Structure 1
């Protein structure tokens, strides 16, 4: 896997036109793009099909969670879109349903453990007794048992997750911030080099690239830091 395949640029922008502009600006630098809820609801699913037809890789960050049949139907439909990755919340029944629905396809299912914008106080408010690291570990183990293809976690937990799930599962880490960058609403962050050294296979970077004055230069700088790691 090359470095540019390990960088996933989050297209967290206002609309498809802005996303297409970012993709053009990053041509030859980045080839893997994340489409989340905001963009999906404004034409992002059609953009995903366009990107895959153009040879780009797409990560659909849909964070599916529903009754088993609904999750299975959603995963089966997405498996036919030729995207590379799809997120589900790491609830055991949902994961098992998703894994069965994706069987035989090239879709990598990722288990979302604990959002990088949440800390221990946020989890307590949501009714969880576990600290973030403990809940991440519990959900990572359940994802491995369910047969998921990878884990989404903060880079700060990547080393522990890698020890838990072994060498084969993908570890995708959002909340990546180059040294000196504004953390924004993220609470558990690492630099690109730190995340790779901790065991991450893929880094999701959105605002530090898409909100930069020069997205191409920002992405090039991040790839250089990743290469150094």
Structure 2
């Protein structure tokens, strides 16, 4: 898989009813690719994943597991049984934890979800990395190092800023996914994101897939916003 043609919509909603209302705007045959993260999952639980999948949508379950290897492995076994397309764990947990995450997904009863490692959050600046994480060097170099660690441990790709996607492609291979949040249309507010690009820029920077939340979910016309972002993302050249 070299590219995910549908933008992944981040369903960052507080409850199931708000989620249902939003998805209904797209009609019954939309077949979206959506991300369910902590806010929605912690409120609505596994049932919202099953409901969204039953409605015909693909789910990226973004819970960013980070714990001792055994706990992560058991958590991933449960996630695999939900039949999601992708899920996440923090690369900073180390190789043993990443390998345990992969083992947990392999042991699930359904088709194995793709495993993505979290590199550095797109809300993190290089200055923060230096002062708060005590990591020297450039943020880009740190992200590439984490991506290589994830690849060696059996991950299928990483979540990163599009600004690092080209370097990760060079350091890994074309099948290793580079899923990029921090996507904003031109002139849109960046919110709490620091490392931000447009959908068209993400394509040129070799992102494998883009995650877009507020520019779609908070739009007065979410369907039109999604369609415009999808067109920009898939524009070749």
State whether TM-score is above 0.5: yes
Cα distance in structure 1, aligned partners of 2:60 and 2:136? 31
- Name the structure 1 match of 2:100: 97
- Name the structure 1 match of 2:217: 210
Q: 2:60–2:87: 8 Å Cα contact kept in structure 1?
A: yes
Matching of residues 29-40 of structure 1 within 5 Å = 29=30, 31-40=32-41
1:58-114 Cα shifts (integer Å, max 9, x gaps): 011100010010000000110011000101001322211111222264210000000
Structure 1 length-normalised TM: 0.94
Structure 2 length-normalised TM: 0.91
- Name the structure 1 match of 2:117: 111
Matching of residues 35-74 of structure 1 within 5 Å = 35-74=36-75
- Ranges in structure 1 where 5+ consecutive residues have no aligned partner: none
Q: 1:5–1:31: 8 Å Cα contact kept in structure 2?
A: no
1:16-57 Cα shifts (integer Å, max 9, x gaps): 211111211133556111011111111042111111122210
Q: 1:4–1:223: 8 Å Cα contact kept in structure 2?
A: no
Relative to structure 1, is the Cα distance of residues 122 and 32 closer, same or farther in structure 2, using a 3 angstrom cutoff?
Answer: same
- Name the structure 2 match of 1:12: 12
Q: For 2:202, which of 192, 195, 201 is the aligned residue?
A: 195
- Name the structure 2 match of 1:75: 76
SS at match of 2:116: strand
Relative to structure 1, is the Cα distance of residues 171 and 227 closer, same or farther in structure 2, using a 3 angstrom cutoff?
Answer: same
**Residue 131 in structure 1 maps to residue 134 in structure 2:** no
Q: 2:2–2:177: 8 Å Cα contact kept in structure 1?
A: no
SS at match of 1:6: coil
Q: 2:115–2:156: 8 Å Cα contact kept in structure 1?
A: yes
Relative to structure 1, is the Cα distance of residues 34 and 44 closer, same or farther in structure 2, using a 3 angstrom cutoff?
Answer: farther
Relative to structure 1, is the Cα distance of residues 199 and 74 closer, same or farther in structure 2, using a 3 angstrom cutoff?
Answer: same
* CA-atom RMSD in angstroms: 1.8
Q: CA deviation at 1:167?
A: 0.9
Of residues 129-138 and 3-12 in structure 1, the stretch that sits farther from structure 2 once superposed is 3-12
Relative to structure 1, is the Cα distance of residues 161 and 4 closer, same or farther in structure 2, using a 3 angstrom cutoff?
Answer: closer
- Ranges in structure 2 where 5+ consecutive residues have no aligned partner: none
Matched residues, number: 229
Cα distance in structure 2, aligned partners of 1:70 and 1:54? 31
Q: CA deviation at 1:194?
A: 1.0
